[in-house]
Chain A
Amino acid sequence: MAGHPRQLTGRGAAGAALALLPLLFLGVAFFWPLWDVLRLGLQIDGRWTGERLQAALSDPYVRRLILFTLEQAALSALLSLGLGFPLGWFLTRYRFPGRRLLRAFTIVPFVLPSITVALGFVLFFGRSGHLNRFLMALFGLGEPPIRVLYTLWAVVLAHAFYNAPVVARFVNAAWERADPTPVEAARTLGARPLRAFLTVTLPLLVPAVLSALALVFVLCTLSFSIPLALGGARYATVEVGVYLYTRGVVASFPRAAALAILTLGLSLVLTYLHLWGGGMFSARQGGVRLGSTVPLFTREKPRRALWLLYLLPAAVVFLGPIGAVIADSFLHPAPGGASPTLHWYRMIASPAWNPFIESSPLAAVRTSLLVGGGATALSLVLGLSVSAVLRRVRSRVLETVLMAPLAVSSVVLGLALLLAFRRPPLSALRGGWAIVLAHTLIVYPFVVRAIRPLWDALDPALSEAARTLGASPFATFRTVTLPLLGSGVLAAGAFAFALSLGEMTAVAMLSGPGAMTMPMAIYHFLGSRDFGAASAMATVLMVTTALAAWAWDRAGSRWLKRDGALAVSRPTAENQAVPGDA
């Protein structure tokens, strides 16, 4: 805990000055742009009115968008539970070689760029995709048997791909932390394993499951790239609707703003519900033994056949699309059969202008790295200063204000910045900056979440000693606090970088000539059906993101080892994905 949370005397001026920096930044880059959206959606000729909202709500198309958004989110959450719960069970119950690796693998979806997953689904589940070709050859079929693409189920399945591991981690974490004594007691008292599971273990897991479901529901409600790429015109979510109203034939910023306000309301409600659910989860978990990995059941004969029934389809769903992307990036399709090639990699290393991605592929890679670097640097500065402010001034109102971007979906943020970059002062900046600002706003709340517990866990005596010895507050921060936070900051930075690399929602709203990032280039390649180029770029993007995620994991665990605290361990990582690009 911080030593003196309320001790403002003598530090009030410094505190106020410190708070000024993030407030100024958020004011210009977030609140003012958001105000533009509100004004556009709620004002007609300078008069405040709900007419546009009413018009939107009475439009059957908008109502259908909202209904479909909730429907697919609910289905996605349920399917994620169906796929993820057994995985959580599997990870908890069985020891087997590669268990740690498999568990580490469940972190992948947090950082895997969703457009690469969408691409993988097209390549793998398409009518002429790998799976159908394989099954047709195997069983000598004339028609492709799997017809999941272009249906609602493509969207739901892709969401489950993303979120089943989330469920698995929640279940696994809760289960490992659950106190084994009640189950042992039940078994001693003669309950059969199934009965012990249903009456003792399951109730213990319910809060974790509910919490995971709530999170997945929020993520899928705000999801954008997957319904955009897989849903076609018929399966569009509200977020996609906002995008279409800024880009389609009936493009109308006021309508887009009205729809954005609706989704803003939706995401506020959902974020609140999720926080409430999360609170319930941690309240119920309080006091149980942490970190115990004692198996809940004694190991009777493992039902291998049963697991195969789960693991085989799970492997198809999880590995198939990713494998398809990587495989196709090295293949040259030809009528007689594909041949291996590096052509696609040479193509995406090309500095030549490509009209379809309105950039050269190489420039897109460079822009992604630059945007990621810029957003990481800015979000670290912003995250550290917000953390510093919140340490000094423990005010719920201030915290809500300083963390507000967390509750705003990326599409709304994109629209807000799109509008803001049309007027001073931001109009002085070129398009690429809009993306950097958007990513900073998306990412810095996670930096704050990662850093605050670390900072709180530091021994205040150290910085107090430095101050006593005459160091200025900033010198103290630079020479004492920052090095102590060290690898925690590094981990947060790596995570921020990974998130920025894969983010496509805000980019879709803001991209243009000179501001083309890798995910958007993949989307355009997908649109012009240049699958080889799309796959090669997706592979590069996945590898880069994976490296950043690996650095995040390493830096994070180094910190853990050194200080032995659990403050930023995996359970917080779970919460880190809230407004991300599911």
Chain B
Amino acid sequence: MKRFIGSVAALALATSAVAAEQFVVYASRSFVRWGPAAAIEQAFEAAHPGVDLVWVAPAGAAEMLSRLIAELSAGRTDADVFLGITAGSLPRALAEGVFRPFDPDLIPNLAFIPEDLRVDPSNHVLPFDHGYIAFVASPALSEDLLPRSFTDLLRPELGGKIILQDPRTSETGLAFLLWTVAHFGDSWPQYWRALLPNLLTITRGWTEAFAMFEAGEAPLVLSYSTDAAYAYLTVGEAKYRVLTLDGEGYRLIEGLGIVRTTRRADLAHALIDIVLSPEIQELIPTSQWMFPVHSGVALPPDFARLAVVPEHPVFLDPGEVAQHLDDWISQWQAILGN
């Protein structure tokens, strides 16, 4: 079927002849807004003249993945590659058969990716960056209120001062839910109940949460451990404080994969190799504000100095997530109402 994204042809009004072939990447909103999307597009289109790389990113990664799954089950999607999947969603994607296995031989840069970042031994998804979830405080929050532990987050002085993301639609939101499960075990629902009064709101995606935080709507947001580096390198001042809780930070590995139904697996492999290339990986720290996965890429000194690596990284086993996620989400939804 001819692709006619974005054209009025959707209404079958004839203008379906698009000059360039379109190659469609579904990604998280944050990656296209912040990450090296433009550089990837440029490198890709330079290497493949006549192909137009189209980003589709109207929502957070988790929501985009749900949509891709729905489209695949309906038998039609425009996506060729999906970018932004994390370990929390990986089991679901694998179970739904979203991705086709990639061929390692077609991705030379794969050789530079450390084994411990390769979360999917079945070779459907590869990592392109990684980092840690943390709480980030703005200067509006006084020093003595800075939360250093899960318990600190419950202080009544923080009432209505925290912005979280919805684990049903956002990868960071999902990561925080998994983090509380990892930290508290079966008693995580009690913690969430106690936390609710301190939340300003729970947003659909990270992008709006962080924008609200930057606009001063609340002084605390669930974000990334690199945000002090971000503030320093963009406005020249490390105005944001990164807060690990009890020394912990949930580890987030973002990956990408080739959509099962693509007709251009060759282009998909080429795109993945570009994303993993040193040229793009070098841009990851100061655009996506994550750690690169390419072992040959050095971190910018200021980034290395200010990006926080938690003492105790937390990471829930994907098998366990696969088994319980549905149940956890149901419980989480039930807590919301209280």
Measuring CB to CB, which residues of chain A are less than 8 angstroms from any residue of chain B? 59-61, 63-65, 67-68, 126-128, 147, 150, 232-234, 244, 246-251, 253, 353, 355-360, 363, 366-367, 370-371, 374, 421-422, 427, 429-433, 436, 512-515, 524, 526-529
Residue in chain B with minimal CB distance to A228: B204
Neighbour of B58 across the interface among A357, A421, A515, CB < 8 A:
A357
Per-position binary interface string of chain B over residues 202-223, scored 1 when its CB falls under 8 Å from any chain A CB and 0 otherwise: 1111011001100111100000
Contact of A358 with B58 in the complex, beta carbons under 8 Å: yes
A248 and B7 form a contact (CB under 8 A): no
Complex CA–CA separation, A433 to B166 (angstroms): 31
CB-CB < 8 A to A250: which residues of B?
Answer: 168, 325-326, 329-330
Tell me the smallest distance from the CB of A48 to a CB of chain B, in Å.
23
Chain B residue nearest to A65 (CB atoms) is B337
Cβ contacts under 8 Å, B200 to chain A? 150
**Inter-chain contact B74/A421, CB cutoff 8 Å:** yes
- Whether A60 pairs with B11 at a CB distance below 8 angstroms is no
Q: Is the CB of B11 within 8 A of A371?
A: yes
Q: Which residues does chain B contribute within 8 Å of A147, judged by CB atoms?
A: 160
- With A356-B29, A358-B56 known to touch, is A233 a contact of B207 (CB < 8 Å)? no
Q: B216 touching A127 by the CB < 8 A rule?
A: yes
Cβ contacts A to B, 11 pairs, < 8 Å: A150-B201, A233-B166, A247-B67, A251-B66, A353-B54, A356-B32, A431-B10, A512-B67, A513-B56, A524-B59, A528-B29
B209 to chain A, nearest CB (A): 10
**CB-defined interface of B31-43 with A at 8 Å, one 1/0 digit per residue?**
0110001000000
**B70 touching A251, Cβ below 8 Å:** yes
* CB <8 Å contact, B334 and A527: no
- Chain A's closest residue to B65 (CB) is A249
Complex: A464 Cα to B41 Cα, angstroms: 68
Measured in the bound complex, the distance between the Cα atoms of B190 and A120 in whole Å is: 36
**Residue on B nearest A229 in the bound complex, by CB:** B204
CA distance A357 to B215 in the complex (A): 22
Complex contact B325–A527 (CB within 8 A): no
> Residue B12 at the A interface, CB < 8 A?
yes
Contact A61 B334 (CB under 8 A): yes
A527 touching B167 by the CB < 8 A rule? no
In whole Å, how far is B327's beta carbon from the nearest beta carbon of chain A?
10
Residues of chain B within 8 A of A59, CB atoms compared: 330, 333-334
A249 and B174 contacting across the interface, CB-CB below 8 Å:
yes
B334 in contact with A60 (CB, 8 Å): yes
User: B332 — nearest CB in chain A belongs to which residue?
Assistant: A61
CB pair A527 B12 closer than 8 Å:
no
Query: Are A370 and B13 touching (Cβ within 8 A)?
Result: yes
Q: Which residue of A is nearest B4, CB measured? A: A514
Is the beta-carbon distance between A247 and B11 smaller than 8 angstroms? no
Contact B207 A247 (CB under 8 A): no
Q: Which among B11, B160, B174 is the interface contact of A430 at CB below 8 angstroms?
A: B11
B8 at the binding interface (Cβ < 8 Å): yes
Q: Which of B6, B37, B169 contacts A359 (CB 8 A)?
A: B6
Interface presence of B57 (CB below 8 A):
yes
What CA separation (Å) do A533 and B317 show in the bound complex?
A: 42
Report B78-96 CB contacts with A as 1/0, cut-off 8 Å: 1000000000010010000
Residues of chain A within 8 A (CB-CB) of B65 are 249
Contact B5 A513, beta carbon cutoff 8 Å: yes
Task: Please give the distance in Å from A194's CB to the nearest CB on chain B.
Answer: 42
Interface residues on B, range: 35 or more
Whether B217 and A128, one on each chain, are in contact in the complex, defined by CB atoms closer than 8 angstroms, is yes
A430 to B7, CA, bound (A): 12
**A529 close to B211 (CB less than 8 A):** yes
Tell me whether B106 is interfacial, beta carbon within 8 Å: no
* Cross-interface CB contact of A61 among B7, B10, B207, B330, cutoff 8 Å: B330
A262–chain B nearest beta-carbon distance, Å: 15
Q: Which residues between 281 and 308 of chain B lie within 8 Å of chain A, taking CB atoms?
A: none
Q: Is B69 part of the contact surface with A, judged by Cβ < 8 Å? A: yes
Give the CA-CA distance A128 to B140 in the complex, in Å. Answer: 14
- Is there an interface contact between A429 and B215, defined as CB atoms closer than 8 Å? no
CB-based contact A374/B11 at 8 Å: yes
CB pair B336 A233 closer than 8 Å? yes
Residues on B with beta carbons closer than 8 Å to the beta carbon of A421 = 74
By CB atoms of chain A within 10 A, which of B167, B211, B337 has the most?
A: B337
Distance of A127 Cα from B207 Cα, bound (Å): 18
Cβ–Cβ contact A363 & B58, under 8 A:
no
- Are the CB atoms of B334 and A64 closer together than 8 Å? yes
Which B residues are CB-close (under 8 A) to A64? 334, 336-337
Q: Of residues A67, A432, A433, which shows the largest number of chain B Cβ atoms within 10 Å of its Cβ?
A: A432
Q: Once the chains bind, are B62 and A249 in contact (CB under 8 Å)?
A: yes
Beta-carbon contacts under 8 Å, B158-184 to A: 160, 166-169, 174
**Cβ of A366: which chain B residues have Cβ within 8 Å of it?**
8
User: Chain A: which residue is nearest B1 at the CB level?
Assistant: A430
* A511 closest partner in B (C-beta): B58
- By a CB distance below 8 angstroms, the chain B residues around A371 are 11
Q: Do residues A370 and B11 form an inter-chain contact, with CB atoms below 8 A?
A: yes
**Cα distance A358–B29 when bound, in Å?**
11
- Quick check: B202 and A232 within 8 Å, CB to CB? yes
A247→B207 CA distance, assembly (Å)? 18
Render B49-61 as a binary contact track against A, CB cut-off 8 A, 1 for contact: 0000011111100
Q: How far is the CA of A150 from the CA of B217 in the complex (A)?
A: 10
How far does the Cβ of B104 sit from chain A's closest Cβ, in whole Å? 29
Q: A430-B12, A528-B29 are in contact. Are A244 and B168 (CB under 8 A)?
A: yes
Q: Which residue of A lies closest to B11 (CB)?
A: A432
User: Judging by beta carbons under 8 Å apart, are B66 and A61 in contact?
Assistant: no
| Alpha-carbon distance between A48 and B331 when the two chains are bound, in angstroms | 28
Closest to A355 in B: B55
Taking CB atoms, residues of chain A closer than 8 Å to B111 are none
Q: Which of B27, B167, B174 gathers most chain A CB within 10 Å? A: B167
Q: Report A-chain residues with C-beta under 8 Å of the C-beta of B32.
A: 355-356
Q: Considering the chains assembled together, what is the distance between the CA atoms of A423 and B207 in angstroms?
A: 35
Known contacts A128-B216, A366-B8; decide if A68 and B211 are in contact (CB<8 Å): no
Which one of B55, B66, B73, B204 contacts A527 once the chains associate, using CB atoms below 8 Å? B204
With a 10 A CB-CB cut-off, give which of A253, A360, A422, A427 has the most chain B CB atoms.
A422
Task: Beyond the given A64-B336, A150-B160, A355-B29, please list 14 additional residue pairs across the A-B interface where CB-CB is below 8 A.
Answer: A59-B330, A234-B199, A244-B169, A246-B66, A248-B166, A249-B174, A353-B55, A356-B32, A363-B7, A367-B10, A430-B10, A513-B56, A524-B59, A527-B204
In the complex, whether B9 has a CB less than 8 A from a CB of chain A is yes
Chain A minimum-CB-distance residue to B55: A355
Q: Which residues of chain B come closer than 8 Å to A513, judged between CB atoms?
A: 5-6, 10, 24, 56, 78
Residues of B close to A60: CB separation below 8 A: 333-334, 337
Give min CB distance, A124 to chain B, whole Å: 14
Confirm or deny: B227 has a beta carbon within 8 angstroms of a beta carbon on chain A. Answer: no
B169 touches A363 (CB 8 A): no
* B236 located at the interface, meaning its Cβ lies under 8 Å from any Cβ of chain A in the complex: no
Q: Known A60-B334, A150-B200; judge A527-B29 contact (CB<8 A).
A: yes
Residues of B within 8 A of A514 (CB): 4-10
Residues of A within 8 A of B207 (CB): 527-529
Return A374 CB to nearest CB of chain B, in Å.
Answer: 7
A526 to B70 alpha-carbon distance, docked (Å)? 24
Q: Quick check: is B254 within 8 A (CB to CB) of the other chain?
A: no
Q: A359 to B56, alpha carbons, bound, how many Å?
A: 9
Instruction: Looking at the assembled complex, report how far the CB atom of A563 sits from the nearest CB atom of chain B, in whole angstroms.
Output: 37
* In the bound complex, CA of A251 to CA of B10 (Å): 26
For the complex, what is the distance from the CA of A230 to the CA of B208, rounded to whole Å?
13
Q: Indicate the member of B55, B71, B168, B174 with the most A CB atoms within 10 Å.
A: B168
CA distance A128 to B218 in the complex (A): 10
- Bound CA–CA A244/B60 (angstroms): 13
Chain A residues with Cβ below 8 Å from B325 are 249-250
Bound-state CA distance A497–B69 (Å) is: 33
Most B-side CB within 10 Å, residue of A61, A128, A249, A367: A249
Q: Considering residues A247, A360, A513, which has the most beta carbons from chain B within 10 angstroms of its beta carbon?
A: A513
Contact in complex: B201, A234 (CB < 8 Å):
yes
Q: Tell me if B63 counts as interface (CB < 8 A to partner A).
A: yes
Shortest Cβ gap from B91 to chain A (Å): 11
Min distance, Cβ A202 to any Cβ of chain B, angstroms? 38
8 shortest interchain CB distances as A-B pairs: A514-B10, A64-B337, A248-B168, A529-B211, A61-B333, A233-B202, A355-B55, A432-B10
